[in-house]
Amino acid sequence: METPGSQSSLHRANLERVVRAVRAAGSLTQADIARATGLSAATVSNIVRELKDRGTVDVRTTSAGGRRARSVSLSTDAGIVVGVDFGHSHLRVAVGNLAHQVLAEEAVPFDVDASAGEGFDQVEKLVDRLVAAAGVDRVKIIGIGLGVPGPIDVATGVLGSTAILPGWRGVSPRGELEARTGVRVHVDNDANLGALGELVWGSGRGCGDLAYIKVASGVGAGLVINGQIYRGPGGTAGEIGHITLDESGPVCRCGNRGCLETFTAARHVLPLLRTSHGTDLTMRRVVQLAREGDPGCRRVVTDVGRHIGTGVAQLCNLLNPSRVVLGGDLAEAGEIALGPIRDAVGRYAIPSAGGGLTLVPGALGSRAEVLGALALVLREMGDGVLLGAPAA
């Protein structure tokens, strides 16, 4: 039995600190590990040597600042993780290892009117196909990250009200998928996973405080505070789409009038252009046409950017993030959308909150959420998965 405060328990705690730091970052030099954990260079060196002998980490020679260094990552043989992203019209699944390498990935069309059971049938087929394509055994799956387009109750894991997957309300996606796979499942909403994906792999790297804004069939924000996703006690933090812009505006799905979402979400914006541009218009196509100079599409994208900027200004005044990452199809519009967002922040945010803000497009595009699902597993899985249980 390990006694609290004993040498063995202290050693175990140090092992976990090193594994946790490497797991969150993907790979770190030994000097980076020392800075991240507060452990001495000698202690880190000894722990890395022990973890390498256990087969927990891989170590390779690299360079940092022009000098030779030792880069440490979790072993590629330690297990694999799966990311699943349900969207308005797609299902995307990715398989990765613990060294933050994506081994296989695929997206297929998804019918929003399908039941949760039908959706998870597709997930199982895709997972089997991708695991086989990656050349690994399914028994090596140690965790699954799942993203859904709606609020998740933090306590129960049940999906709340969603206009995107109406047949899923009241379903526990985590419980359903765990029962099917026998693997621990971590679930979150798509905006939070987009934030996590950009934080680990994309435009949010190296930033501890940011907001990820996703504009699609709905509008949401994933909030990162001190390097961690902030969900709120009920799991609904970041519902920027329901900030009121006009009390006399259109009725929103939430029951209020004039929410930000009613001026920016695809289902409200596209009808403005369908008379002149056809009924099969998508937000991606609107952005493409705007970039090509279409005046109607440019006006719509500009207006959407201005409204989003009003919401971002309120986020700045409340949370003062250092960076805002624009995701979804709107990010592809570049300065056509980013310029109006910047202008609105300059107008409505107090100078101390908006003056130092960096506004950037997402780097991951439509992959942000599924990569965030992988990152969710890598962050949430217990260290005991890699180190084994403490001695009894």
Can you give the pTM of this predicted structure? 0.85
User: Domain with 123 in it: what CATH number?
Assistant: 3.30.420.40
Distance of alpha carbon 189 from alpha carbon 369, whole angstroms: 9
100's tokens: 């933050």
In a domain, 200, yes or no: no
Question: 9-30: buried (b, 16+ CB within 10 Å) or exposed (e) per residue?
Answer: eeebebbbbbbbbbbbbbbbbb
Cβ partners under 8 Å of residue 6, min gap 6: none
Same domain, 118 and 180: yes
Same domain, 292 and 162: no
Same domain, 167 and 230: no
In a domain, 233, yes or no: yes
Domain boundary pick from 60, 75, 90: 75
- Write the pLDDT tens digit of every residue in 112-130: 778 888 889 999 999 999 9
End-to-end CA distance of the chain: 5
Enclosing domain of residue 66: 7-75
Domain boundary pick from 33, 54, 75: 75
**Sign of the torsion formed by the C-alpha atoms of 82, 87, 91 and 94:** negative
Say what the pLDDT of residue 363 is: 95
Same domain, 298 and 313: yes
Q: Helices 116-134 and 173-181: crossing angle, nearest 10°?
A: 50
Domain boundary pick from 48, 75, 102: 75
Question: 346-368: buried (b, 16+ CB within 10 Å) or exposed (e) per residue?
Answer: eebbeeebbeebebbbbbbebbb
Tally of structural domains, the chain: 3
Same domain, 178 and 91: yes
Same domain, 378 and 320: no
Say what the pLDDT of residue 3 is: 55
Strand, helix or coil at 300?
Answer: helix
In a domain, 2, yes or no: no
Same domain, 226 and 357: yes
Same domain, 233 and 357: yes
Distance of alpha carbon 118 from alpha carbon 20, whole angstroms: 36
Same domain, 87 and 71: no
Same domain, 178 and 255: no
In a domain, 133, yes or no: yes
- Write the pLDDT tens digit of every residue in 349-364: 999 999 889 999 999 9
Say what the pLDDT of residue 273 is: 94
Distance of alpha carbon 236 from alpha carbon 155, whole angstroms: 12
Strand, helix or coil at 369?
Answer: helix
Same domain, 279 and 355: yes
Regions of the chain with pLDDT less than 50: 1, 391-392
